[in-house]
Each structure stands twice: as C-alpha cells, then as structure tokens.
C-alpha cells in the first residue's frame, strides 16, 4: 500500500528571521539532484491548516517558475510566528506507467514536492513534531513499487530513485545546516526495512 514520504528538519535555536535562508537552501538543493531550479508555487497559511491562505501565488512550471530566493522573499514578507510557508518545486523520478496496458513502461516523470517552513506558534507548535522545515515527497511508490514484478530494468529504476532520494536528503541537511533530520512515513514503518525487502538486499 502506497504511503506518503516526508523529511523533517530541525535547526538549533532557530530564530524566525533565519527561516528564509533555511528554506532557500532546502529549495536550492533540488536543482543538483534531479529537480527544478525554480519554484512552481508558494502559499502562506495562517494559524493552522484549517484556515484559508493569506497569500498564494502560482508562478508556473520550468522557466516560468522563480528562483527559490525570490519565492521565499515574497512569501516571507508576511512574517509571523503563527504562519506556515509552503513552496512547491518539481522533482523527477522513474515511475511505472500502469495505464500503458498490456505493456506497462517506465517513464521519468516530474512530481510536485511540498517544502514547508513553520513559524514557532503555527498549529500549536507543530514544528516540534513536524520539523522547522518539512519536505513532503508524496507517495512512496517510486521507491518501492510494492506488488509489482520489477524485473532487472525496474529494479535499476527503483534503485536510482532511492539513490536520488538519499543524495537529495543528505544535500538538504548539509546545505541548510540542519542538526537533525528524520525520513518518515505516515504508516510509521521502517522505510529502510521496506526498501531492503523490496530490492532483496540485506543489511
């Protein structure tokens, strides 16, 4: 069963004014690891997820997008301790196109990843559990493709996706100066164990 994959990042004694630089660094890491160098959209959420956005702008795909620093600057003009700042950026992975029946094929598809920075008072201090910054990678299917007979080609594509995930998360941690990170899923199962079991690897 597909699950949603997240990366949570924490920073020591992070002041709200420093959140912009951290967000720009996280978004900037995507370009070197299979993603876009430009931000697709930005949204600012007040107080909690149940509230309507106070700022929302869709820049567009590819060249129509904007540099991470510009997107962050525009969104964080509304700087409040109880706001959350969400950015969407494209990241490409190999995915199995099952609609191509009877011959499913592997295609490299862009997906929108959500990068969210939390003010310290947003949603009653959600950052303590979610991270000062949380990256929502979307469904974990490209890293596992559970229930599918991978074959040699499929196994290579899934391995490449996993390698790209590992490299991106390491780069994000380093370039943004995070002191703690957690790659996790809603099901709470060990992603590493599931990956190892899917690819027939041993620890």
- Condensed to tens digits (0 to 9), the pLDDT of residues 28-45 reads 999 999 999 999 999 999
pLDDT of residue 202: 40
Kindly list the distances between the CA atom of residue 22 and the CA atoms of 122, 137, 191, in Å, as whole numbers in the listed order.
17, 18, 26
pLDDT of 59 > 60? The answer is: yes
β-strand 55-58 against 35-46: which pairing, if any?
antiparallel
pLDDT of residue 62: 84
Q: What gap in Å lies between CA 122 and CA 159, rounded to an integer?
A: 37
- As a whole number of Å, the CA-based R_g of the chain is 17
136-170 tens-digit pLDDT: 999 988 988 877 778 888 889 999 998 999 999 99
- The mean pLDDT of 57-65, rounded to a whole number, is 92
pLDDT of 196 > 80? The answer is: no
pLDDT of 72 > 80? The answer is: yes
pLDDT of residue 200: 65
Q: How confident is the model at residue 5 (pLDDT cuts 50, 70, 90)?
A: very high
With 0-12 / 13-18 / 19 or more C-beta atoms within 10 angstroms meaning exposed / middle / buried, residue 79 is middle
Contact criterion met (CB below 8 Å) for 84 and 119: yes
Q: What gap in Å lies between CA 193 and CA 184, rounded to an integer?
A: 12
pLDDT of 1 > 80? The answer is: no
92-137 tens-digit pLDDT: 999 988 775 667 789 998 999 999 999 999 999 999 999 999 999 9
pTM: 0.91
């Amino acid at each position: 069963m597909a699950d949603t994959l997240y990366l949570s990042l924490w920073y020591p004694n992070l002041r709200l004014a420093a959140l912009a630089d951290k967000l720009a660094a996280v978004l900037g890491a995507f370009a070197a690891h299979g993603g876009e160098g430009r931000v697709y959209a930005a949204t600012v959420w007040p107080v909690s997820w149940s509230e309507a956005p106070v700022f929302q702008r869709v820049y567009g795909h590819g060249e129509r997008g904007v540099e991470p620093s510009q997107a962050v600057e525009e969104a964080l003009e509304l700087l409040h301790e109880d706001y959350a700042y969400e950015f969407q950026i494209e990241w490409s992975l190999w995915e199995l196109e099952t609609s191509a029946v009877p011959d499913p094929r592997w295609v490299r598809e862009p997906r929108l990843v959500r990068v969210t920075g939390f003010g310290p008072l947003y949603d009653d201090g959600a950052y303590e559990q979610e991270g000062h910054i949380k990256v929502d990678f979307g469904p974990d299917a490209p890293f596992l493709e559970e229930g599918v007979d991978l074959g040699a080609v499929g196994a290579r594509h899934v391995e490449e996706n996993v390698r790209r995930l590992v490299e991106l998360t390491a780069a994000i941690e380093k370039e943004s100066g995070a002191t703690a990170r957690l790659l996790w899923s809603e099901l709470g199962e060990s992603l590493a164990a599931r990956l190892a079991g899917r690819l027939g690897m041993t620890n």
